[in-house]
Amino acid sequence: MRLFMIRHGESENNQKKLFTGWVDCPLTEKGIKEAESIRSFMSSFKFDKVYSSDLCRAIQTAKIVFPNREPETSALIRERSLGALENQPIVFTDPDIQEAFKTMDFTRFGGEDRQMLSERLEQFLATLEASDHNNVAVFTHGGILSRMLRLVIGEHDSSAVRRPNCTIAVFDYTNNKWMLTGWLDPALLIAADSYSLDKKDYFII
């Protein structure tokens, strides 16, 4: 199985620099254009299934990329909950906020910790692993992408991996094991269009 995991386009909270989490906010005009920028590339693959987080920014991205398909939504792949921090300005002067982001433990604010996010993601992956799908597209969030990286390549600092809006990450599932096989910044697709290059040259699959 090949899993294409896509972060949603820029949301209104991204633009306003607010902590988001489970807040349901739509894409900005820039976010819509980001989603449009990966549509041609994604349409070159045949997908057996398209999933989306149940938050509107992910659903909207999925529908822009695949305008003729209705994604199956799941709360298991929504962003990590930040609790009381959600919809607040992104500032890191408070020691409690600094510690929460250092440990990725937001339970002190009524949100989730790493284990809670991992359990959701692993429950979703178990459904995929039990299926007979070949290619699957999943529209999700930065937190889920980070957690997937850690599950696949170990407890390294995923903040060292750039994952802008509409990043496409590809994971293969073979012999009961997930492997990272591709990582694409959407800016490279735009560059490929500008220089009339083969977009697949930028993608390791």
CATH code of the domain in which 169 resides: 3.40.50.1240
**Does residue 36 sit within a domain?**
yes
The widest CA-to-CA distance across the chain, in whole angstroms, is 50
Count of structural domains within the chain: 1
* pTM for this predicted structure: 0.90
Q: 77-97, pLDDT tens digit by residue? A: 999 999 999 999 999 999 999
Domain for residue 182, yes or no?
A: yes
* pLDDT tier, 195 (very low <50, low <70, confident <90, very high otherwise): very low
Report yes or no on 151 lying in a domain: yes
In a domain, 142, yes or no: yes
* Residue 100 within any structural domain of the chain: no
Domain-located, residue 138: yes
162 inside domain: yes
Look up the domain containing 120 and give its range: 2-18+26-78+112-202
User: pLDDT for 108-156, tens place per residue?
Assistant: 999 999 999 999 999 999 999 999 999 999 999 999 999 999 999 886 6
DSSP H helical ranges for the chain = 12-16, 29-43, 56-65, 95-103, 114-129, 142-153, 186-194
Whether residue 170 is contained in a domain is answered as yes
Across 196-205, average pLDDT: 43
Q: Could you read off the pLDDT of 176-192 as tens digits, one per residue? A: 999 999 988 887 776 55
